[in-house]
Each structure stands twice: as C-alpha cells, then as structure tokens.
Amino acid sequence: MKEAEFEGKTVEEALLKASAELGFNISDMTYEVLESERGLFGFLGASVRIRVRVPEDETPLAFRKEYVPGPGDTNLAEGLAAADESRARGDFPIIGRQPGTDAAKVNKAIETVEQLITGMGYQAKVSAKDTPEQILINIQSEHNDVLIGRDGEVLAALQFLANKIVNRFPDDRKLVVLDAEGFKDRRETALGTLAKRMADKALTTKRVVRLSPMNPQDRRLIHMALRDHPGVSTKSDGDGNYRCLLIIPNILEEAGQPGRRGR
C-alpha cells in the first residue's frame, strides 16, 4: 500500500491531482480527509488536504494502455462515487478493485463464453465491454435463437456458468452479463408491457396478480418497470425456481391486507 497526501480546493480536485500524479483511477484509490477549511462562501479560499492510498504491488494504470491521462476515470462521476462509497463504508485501508486484474478477467470471460458456445457446436462472435460494475459480453451468432432459448433460459444458463467459472475465486468478483444482439433490450420492453398490463388488471380487479415464476433478472425488470406506478406495489414470493412476482393494488395494501408472505 502506497500513501500520499494531496491538497485542493475541494476533495474532488485533490483526488483528481492524486489520480494524475499516481496514475490510478479514482475508483481504485481510497482516501481520508485530513484537513478541511471551509473558506469564504464555502469555496473561496477553501482548502482540503487528503491522504490517498493506492495498492503498491499493482502497476499503475498510467503504465498500462487503457489509462486515460488527466482525470483518471473515463467516467469521473462514477470514480468519485466509488471513492466516496469506500470511504463511507469505513474501509479506508482496504483497496476494493485491484487495478490490473480487470483486463485479465475480461479476457477470461470472453474465452469462457467462446469455449461454451463452440463446445455446444455453434459459432459466434464474442465481444466484451468492461464497465465499473460488470463485464458486458455480447454474442453475435446465426444461432442466436438457440443460444438465447425460450424466455432467455439458455442465455441465463450460459451467464450463470460463465460467472461461476470466471469468478471461481472469491477475491475480486465481477459480474459477467451476457447479451445477444439486443436481447436484453427486447426483453426489457416486452416485460415492461406485460408489467403495465398486469398492473391494470390488478387495479381493475382489485386483487393481487401473481405472475408466473421468473428468474431474478426478469423479476428485477418488472420491479423497475412498476417502481413509479402510482396505483400498485410489487414484491416477490416463493423460493428458488418457484419465486414469482406479485403485483399488489395499493387499496389492498392500505387495508392491511398484503399479498401473503414474501419479501
């Protein structure tokens, strides 16, 4: 672990300096505020001193090709949020994501998905996009219908296995998400429509609507679609493969009659 102190008008500014100097993305650094002077109007003449820590045994991003000079993070807001979050958790000395391991992980993810698909006897072009939260893998193939499967079950199975294989060791897990030519978008639209229709049904019948069992990703999409719906609330009920989503009209909720047990 390497430590260094930086100063700036704001914490952000100090972090940016640290990023530029040390060659690490902000999201890969942890920091603590040593001194903070408010100054006039909270900004003029204000100064902040922070101590930044970066992992010592890793090559700084500056020496790797994906480093973007200047503000280390391609998405500054995300980097700042990640640094703030690790500070809020109080895990100051713990470095979360280790720079340097990600590129290897992305390659491993691409390789794993390619091996699975060729092993199944199909050909596909596999590409990846690395984001701070997940590795997004896109599959392009003539056989997309088979690789997606009914309700996306084959794609979900491939995603599950790819995650098991890529994140075999508990350190530095990163979610691998599979998509095949916009399947996820189409699914989101389709489930959104279903969600609206079922919410209307719940409202007109004044009864709880129980959808058929779905995988967590699909349930999440429906929860999201109805999150801002004024008349209904959603919850999941059941276990494992049988877990399904309930749409509850608010009239029932207020009457103290929620739809059975569940989270």
Partner 1 sequence: MAGIVELVTMIAKALVDEPEAVVVTELEGEQTRVYELRVAKDDMGKVIGKQGRTAKAIRTVVGAAAARDNKRAILEIVE
Q: Which residues bind partner 1 (CB under 8 A)?
A: 112, 115-116, 119-122, 146-147, 149, 153-154, 156-158, 160-161, 164-165, 168, 240-241
DSSP bridge partners of 127:
138
**Contact 35/47 with Cβ under 8 angstroms?**
yes
d(CA 75, CA 52): 19
SS3 call for 183: helix
Element (H, E) at 4: strand 2-8
23: left (phi over 0), alpha (psi -120 to 50) or beta: left
Q: What's the burial of 14, exposed, middle or buried (CB within 10 Å: 0-12/13-18/19+)?
A: buried
User: How large is the angle between the packed helices 76-88 and 11-22, nearest 10 degrees?
Assistant: 110
DSSP bridge partners of 92:
none
Q: Name residue, tokens 């979050």.
A: 85
* Of the candidates 70, 24, 16, 21, the residue with the CA atom closest to the CA atom of residue 48: 16
**Contact 79/25 with Cβ under 8 angstroms?**
yes
d(CA 220, CA 258): 20
